Amino acid sequence: MKSLSELNHLSQYIAESQDESGGIPSEKDKILDPWDHIECCMALDVFGEKERSLLGFQWLIDHQENDGSWYSEYQANKNISSRKESNFSSYIAIGALHNYESYGDLNFLENLLPTLKKSLKFTLSAQTDFGEFSWAMENGKWLDDALKTGNSSIFMSLKAYKKIFDLLGQNSNQIESSLTALRKVFLNNTSRFDRNWDSKERYSMDWYYPILAGIYNESEALKKINSKWNIFINEEFGCRCVSDKPWITVAETSELIITLNKIDETKKAKDLFEKVSELKDPKDNIFWMGYVFDDGKYWPIEKPTWTAAAYILAANALNKFTSAGDFFKKL
């Protein structure tokens, strides 16, 4: 890929899906979840769509609950879920730091700080005495289990909170302590994940997301990538979403590309990028969510904004089109 302009249609697709209040649903007028919404704001920042991104952050400010959280799903700007997921509420730190690294606007972070402090307080309230984070709150109570992928996302978000707090001269000791406790769970006590439901190990995100989050050292990260490469990777199309299903998903493949780039597995990352780039509708060049390679069919028949966003972030990670091109590698 020679130029970011080759992906202008993806940025435009995300922008056209954004509503007047700033919300970016999965498709125009469909369901919005805050994590995916933030991912879309980040993709808009890659294209310098600062005003649209700021409108997206304003949506987060406007819809934040008093306890610092967001609900898991919204439609027409009204919550349609009773759950508040811990990794959703923390991901705003990733989006905020990415915005800062895209534009260098410290005022943006300063203005967002009250929102960030509230979201951090809610996030930290999910951490158990063992160090992992409960996955969701419902009716005011934390549900008794934890997700490896969700905790990986939180780990990455906590690093972003720390960077932001340090930039703004805020005390980050509590964040540092939380990070240390969570890392120990990944290194020494993974039985804290998936305690009350079937293991999620068959999902590729459980494989690569701890590496993307930067939990392991370089040699251990490489060992873990190689250990399940043949389980999750289809050499013709990309990364399976689930190990026992013939289903390639563009977003997971894009996140894996960012992960591989982070640990300097550049050739593998570029090879996957070339493969996943084919999984789009030739009529408009917008990506389908996934492809079932046994049947040769795209499924589901959806073109999520967050899928386009993940691909944009992968393209920027590989090609360094913007000042935030190495965002995930540095984090």
pLDDT, tens digit, for every residue of 163-176?
999 999 999 999 99
The pLDDT of 185-211, averaged and rounded, is 98
The predicted pLDDT at position 187 comes to: 98
Domain ranges across the chain:
4-330
The predicted pLDDT at position 282 comes to: 95
Give the SS3 label for residue 274.
helix
For residue 75 the two structure tokens come to 């439609």
The model's confidence at residue 276, banded by pLDDT at 50, 70 and 90, is: very high
- Digit-coded pLDDT (tens) for 50-86: 999 999 999 999 999 999 999 999 999 999 999 999 9
Render 267-312 in DSSP notation, one character per residue. Answer: HHHHHHHHHHTT-B-TTT-PBPSEEETTTTEE-SS---HHHHHHHH
Percent of the residues in the chain that have a pLDDT greater than 70, as a whole number: 100
For residue 84 the two structure tokens come to 């508040």
- The class of domain 4-330 in CATH terms is mainly alpha
